[in-house]
Structure 1
Amino acid sequence: MSADAQLAPLAAFVFAGLFSPGPNVVMLAASGARFGVRATVPHILGVAGGVGAIAAAAGLGVGAALAAAPWLAAGLKAIAALWILRLAWSMAAAARRPRGADAGRPMTLAEAALFQWVNPKVWAVALAAAAAGFAGGGGPAAEAARLALVFSGLNLLVCVFWTSAGGLLRRLMASERAHRRFMTALSALMAASAALIFV
């Protein structure tokens, strides 16, 4: 099958995998609600770029290296779980403060991009896409670039959607109590996603 014919099923697979709730979705919705969409733009761009880099790595065969070194995969999972729990704690702490007293800040572009390297959901989707027969028949570098473009482009749309949803909720949550409950619920979802890493 040609590369063009494979693009639609690849795009559908990637979109479904990245749109569903996971650490990025929760963090972006929370950032949109806490800081607004404009302030979250570097976070959005970092996620999209980082996800593209992971997809390229998967296309170049990093999955085989991880399978050959289970200790490395286990270490990445442990780091991811600790990082996610730290982020969940930060969100829970923000929920206890009045909105005007929130001393936090959005993730930077570099922080968001680096987080993708320990984000188990992104790795799972990227490795599955690389192994699912969506290849367009090019060489390894061409396929890696193709995966990177599809992942980054679609993830940019996903990131904008979830950040905008958080920004809309920011405007709708007039009371401090509603804001606190929303942020507490997001922090609980974030903490729960850490446990899913080991499933």
Structure 2
Amino acid sequence: MELSDIRREYTRGGLRRRDLPEQPIELFNHWLQQAIEAGLTDPTAMTVATVDATGQPFQRIVLLKHFDQQGFVFYTNLGSRKAAQIEQNHKISLHFPWHPLERQVHITGVAEKLTTLEVMKYFSSRPKESQIAAWASKQSSRLTARQALEGKFMELKKKFSAGEVPFPTFWGGYRVRVTSMEFWQGGEHRLHDRFLYEREDDHWHIDRLAP
């Protein structure tokens, strides 16, 4: 089968202007809860897009850990490639692909570092193995072999077996303060529904976009 022949109809329902709340975070929360209730794999997984100093875009999958009216939160190694790119360009893009529900959410915004207290609080809530993995992996650095990473993990697991894992100062997180949110709902005959929320001072302007 040719790739160009792969297609299907989107029939799960539409999205109408009258159904949209004034605040996009309310619709996002509703859609996320439906994704969770539908049993989607990794419903909080999102693509995080950044741009390097040469203008080259990069994308990776990261898990959303918190969201509210202040923004969307994720955590990472501050020595990672994404962190280095955010340091140079704070503008960022997030994308949630909920394919089984024929929905997507695209977010643009500005990434701000979380406070040390916020990061420490979350780090202490992680499983111990995840805490150790944060110490073992120098994220985005080159590895000679996987065995080197596994060996470092086992070494640290033994070292911290009798006590708490200390908080690594190179580990942190970001809050993405939203400037726009687009909600996409699949429709029949490729007549998809797209609504764009854009922040204007202290309120949101809503536009319907052509599919």
Task: Tell me the TM-score normalized by structure 2.
Answer: 0.22
Q: Would you tell me which structure has more helix in proportion to its own residues? A: 1
Q: Which has the larger radius of gyration?
A: 2
Task: Tell me the TM-score normalized by structure 1.
Answer: 0.23
Higher relative contact order (CA 8 A, sep 6+): 1
Q: Would you tell me which structure has more strand in proportion to its own residues? A: 2
